[in-house]
């Protein structure tokens, strides 16, 4: 009976992943076709096959360039960022045993914004590369502070969350201090826009870097998925089931920090995805992490690509910050799940 | 499997909690750990199960020092049932019991027939086989405790440690749980508050007071009015049961 249940679960996951890969491909194709200047899907397809050297179709060079150099890289980075944030959220919700945990709970986004502000306002370095580096350094500084305050994240979930809150407050205060004392109105606006997240300006090199980070982190997380399940009844219970609790915690906190810092440094602090997508995934494939982690990553990827399309379509002639769209698109969707999953009492 | 503790010492900062405890539990024995609140029952249980590291002293399981056995291998030998462990996650009875197979599975290994058998046997043992699809959140306290015990059994351990497994349960379920544990073909060490239940279901009783073993022996040997007055600060009458029956304690109101 239970082996059937297991096979049922595995085939259900396989079906789910198959469907979500197809949906993701359609979403990415749509993202490459839709824009201020719409391009037919056929041209999109031929642009890609041309670039890959599979075809030599005659299409306008400008359209091929827009598809390949601007929209496709942007859509794929959106997919990776969505997958990464959702994965981090699922892991932190399990490790911290808190349904409200999300990728930024350990102060990573606050640290990243301080780093970014140092670059934008104080002008340490110049150009977009140093903005990313500044954000990355800030994110890791915040994570190091949290790790220090929580004894390498071994002090229990609430202690770790409090350490994260303290680090977030500190770095947010630093950001505000720097902006108010030395920034002008335009700089403040730049910072604000950057914080809400944007996929504008991302290119292929960003995709390769983020792709490697996401794949490595996802692999590590899948290898530790069984151990994450053992945290269902708390740390001590996990230890009694033979899980090296301190090591798993430290490795997974490190992985989420690396992944979140990389994403934030490229596209800003995009909220909501990391909090909500794991809950949606749990609703579809259940709470066990061998299924939950890949499902969260896929849903996060699809969701982010669609949110990015929406961000370019909602207002004509301008792009709404992606963080605004993830909340606008996501909340109604999440409300349905919350309503349908409410306790039947 | 035998459990042997020698000169265990453990404390928090400068406050000693377990002071120089030595204990020998024979294969198949059911041992009750009793003592007032704060006497170190839970701490001793965790030291024996390898969940806390003693400041000094050793614990041996079948003659092997548990400090030298990797955590995962240790979890295939001994299981630990916490008192009323809870979760907010929406898991089913089946999910919870499958967690018991964690120490037997590698990171990516599939679900094997051995895993399946262990889970099914554990479910039968606690009489929850027809309830495996039921969500955890809908179980009563007694059912949850039964599922925890089934999960421990799915580990296929030789020794089981239970920390006040009957807490918050009504008397029917208290007796049901302890009868079930006693019937298992395992060495078990149970921290308990109810002295009559300890007398009814344990082969031997260990009395802890301020982190030291005050008395150790069969219920009839250990549970005396003098000891209850000294350790638990209650006056009680004790009626010895005939033949095999357990001694019965009646507490005085004054």
Nearest CA in chain A to B87: A233
CATH architecture of B3-88+157-251: 3-Layer(aba) Sandwich (3.40)
> What are the tens digits of pLDDT across the range A98-116?
888 888 888 888 898 888 8
From CA A252, how far away is CA A65, in angstroms rounded?
39
- Conformational region of residue B35, where left means phi above 0, alpha means psi within -120 to 50, and beta covers everything else: left
> What are the tens digits of pLDDT across the range A46-91?
998 988 888 888 888 888 888 888 899 999 999 999 999 999 999 9
- Measured CB to CB, residues of chain B less than 8 Å from chain A are 46, 49, 51, 71-76, 79-80, 82, 85-91, 94-96, 98-100, 102-103, 105, 107-108, 111, 113, 116, 119-120, 132, 137, 155
Interface check for A1 against chain B (CB to CB < 8 A): the answer is yes
CATH of the domain at A287: 1.10.3470.10
Of A3, A233, A343, the CB nearest to B87: A233
From CA A69, how far away is CA A71, in angstroms rounded?
6
**Residue of B189, B162, B210, B163 lying closest to B11 (CA atoms):** B210
* Residue A170 in tokens: 């500190």
Interface check for A251 against chain B (CB to CB < 8 A): the answer is no
Residues of A in contact with B95 (CB under 8 A): 286-288
* Residue A330 in tokens: 């996501």
* Residue A292 in tokens: 């939950």
Q: Which residues, 6 or more positions from A184, have their beta carbon under 8 angstroms from its beta carbon?
A: none
Query: Would the CB atoms of A229 and B116 count as touching at under 8 Å?
Result: no
In Å, how far is A280's CA from the nearest CA of chain B?
A: 13
> What are the tens digits of pLDDT across the range B227-240?
999 999 999 888 88
> What are the tens digits of pLDDT across the range A136-164?
889 889 988 988 888 765 677 888 889 99
User: Domain residue spans in chain B?
Assistant: 3-88+157-251
DSSP state of A36: S
Q: Which residues, 6 or more positions from B22, have their beta carbon under 8 angstroms from its beta carbon?
A: B5, B6, B7, B8, B57, B213
User: What count of residues does chain A have?
Assistant: 345
Residue A345 located in a structural domain: no
* Torsion, Cα of B230, B232, B237, B241 (10° steps): -110
- Residue A325's Cα: distance from chain center in Å? 14
From CA B174, how far away is CA A293, in angstroms rounded?
39
Mean per-residue pLDDT for B62-91? Answer: 90
Number of structural domains chain A divides into: 1
Predicted confidence band at B114 (pLDDT cuts at 50, 70, 90)?
very high
The pLDDT value given to residue A8: 55
> What are the tens digits of pLDDT across the range A170-195?
999 998 888 888 767 777 777 777 77
Determine which of B71, B89, B145 to mutate to test the interface with A (most A C-beta atoms within 10 Å): B89
* Residue A39 in tokens: 């391009």
* Residue B25 in tokens: 């539990």
Report angle CA A106, A328, A108 to the nearest 5 degrees.
Answer: 15
pLDDT exceeds 70 at position A3: no
φ, ψ of residue A93 in degrees (nearest 5): -65, -35
pLDDT exceeds 80 at position A23: yes
**Residue of A160, A163, A157, A149 lying closest to A235 (CA atoms):** A157
Query: Would the CB atoms of B76 and A242 count as touching at under 8 Å?
Result: yes
Q: Give me the domain span that covers residue A222.
A: 2-340
Using the CB atoms, write b or e for B68-100: b if 16+ within 10 Å.
ebebbebbbbbbbbbeebebebebbbbbbbbbb
Complex ipTM: 0.90
């Amino acid at each position: 009976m239970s082996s059937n249940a297991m096979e049922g679960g595995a085939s259900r996951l396989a079906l789910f992943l198959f469907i979500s890969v197809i949906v993701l491909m359609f979403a990415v194709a749509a993202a490459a076709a839709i824009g201020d200047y719409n391009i037919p899907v056929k041209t999109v397809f031929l642009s890609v096959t041309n670039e890959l050297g599979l075809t030599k179709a005659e299409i306008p060079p400008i359209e091929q360039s827009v598809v390949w150099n601007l929209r496709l890289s942007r859509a794929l980075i959106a997919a990776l960022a969505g997958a990464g944030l959702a994965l981090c959220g699922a892991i932190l919700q399990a490790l911290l045993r808190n349904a409200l945990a999300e990728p930024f709970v350990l102060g990573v986004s606050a640290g990243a914004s301080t780093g970014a502000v140092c670059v934008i306002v104080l002008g340490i370095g110049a150009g977009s590369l140093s903005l990313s580096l500044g954000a990355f350094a800030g994110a890791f500084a915040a994570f190091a502070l949290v790790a220090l305050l929580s004894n390498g994240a071994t002090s229990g979930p609430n202690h770790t969350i409090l350490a994260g809150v303290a680090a977030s407050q500190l770095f947010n205060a630093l950001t505000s201090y720097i902006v108010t004392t030395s920034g002008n109105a335009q700089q403040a606006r730049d910072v604000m826009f950057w914080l809400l997240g944007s996929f504008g300006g991302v290119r292929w090199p960003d995709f390769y870097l983020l792709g490697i980070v996401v794949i490595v982190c996802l692999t590590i997380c899948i290898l530790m998925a069984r151990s994450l399940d053992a945290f269902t009844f708390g740390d001590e219970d996990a230890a009694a089931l033979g899980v090296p609790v301190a090591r798993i915690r430290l490795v997974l906190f490190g992985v989420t920090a690396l992944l979140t810092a990389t994403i934030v440094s490229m596209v800003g602090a995009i909220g909501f995805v990391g909090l909500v997508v794991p809950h949606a995934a749990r609703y579809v494939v259940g709470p066990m992490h061998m299924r939950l982690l890949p499902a969260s990553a896929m849903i996060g990827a699809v969701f982010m690509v669609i949110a990015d399309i929406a961000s370019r379509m909602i207002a004509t002639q301008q792009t709404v910050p992606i963080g605004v769209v993830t909340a606008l698109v996501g909340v109604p969707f999440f409300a349905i799940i919350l309503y349908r999953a409410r306790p039947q009492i | 499997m035998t459990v042997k503790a020698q000169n265990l010492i453990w404390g928090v900062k400068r406050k000693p909690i377990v002071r120089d405890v030595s204990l020998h539990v024979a294969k198949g024995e059911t041992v009750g750990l009793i003592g007032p609140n704060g006497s170190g029952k839970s701490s001793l249980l965790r030291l024996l199960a390898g969940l806390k590291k003693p400041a000094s002293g050793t614990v041996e399981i079948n003659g092997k020092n548990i400090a030298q056995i990797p955590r995962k291998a240790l979890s295939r030998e001994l299981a630990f049932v916490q008192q009323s462990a809870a979760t907010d996650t929406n898991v089913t009875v089946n999910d919870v019991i499958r967690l018991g197979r964690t120490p037997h599975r590698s990171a990516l290994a599939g679900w094997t027939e051995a895993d399946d058998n262990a889970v099914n046997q554990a479910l039968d043992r606690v009489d929850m086989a027809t309830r495996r699809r039921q969500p955890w959140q809908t179980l009563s306290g007694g059912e949850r405790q039964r599922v925890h015990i089934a999960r421990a059994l799915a580990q296929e351990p030789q020794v089981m440690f239970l920390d006040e497994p009957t807490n918050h349960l009504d008397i029917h379920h208290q007796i049901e749980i302890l009868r079930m544990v006693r019937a298992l073909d395992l060495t078990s060490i149970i921290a308990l508050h109810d002295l009559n239940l300890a007398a009814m279901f344990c082969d031997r009783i260990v009395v802890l007071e301020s982190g030291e073993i005050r008395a150790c022996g069969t219920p009839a040997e250990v549970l005396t009015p003098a000891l209850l007055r000294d350790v638990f600060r209650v006056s009680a009458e004790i009626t010895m049961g005939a033949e095999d029956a357990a001694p019965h304690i009646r507490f005085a109101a004054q």
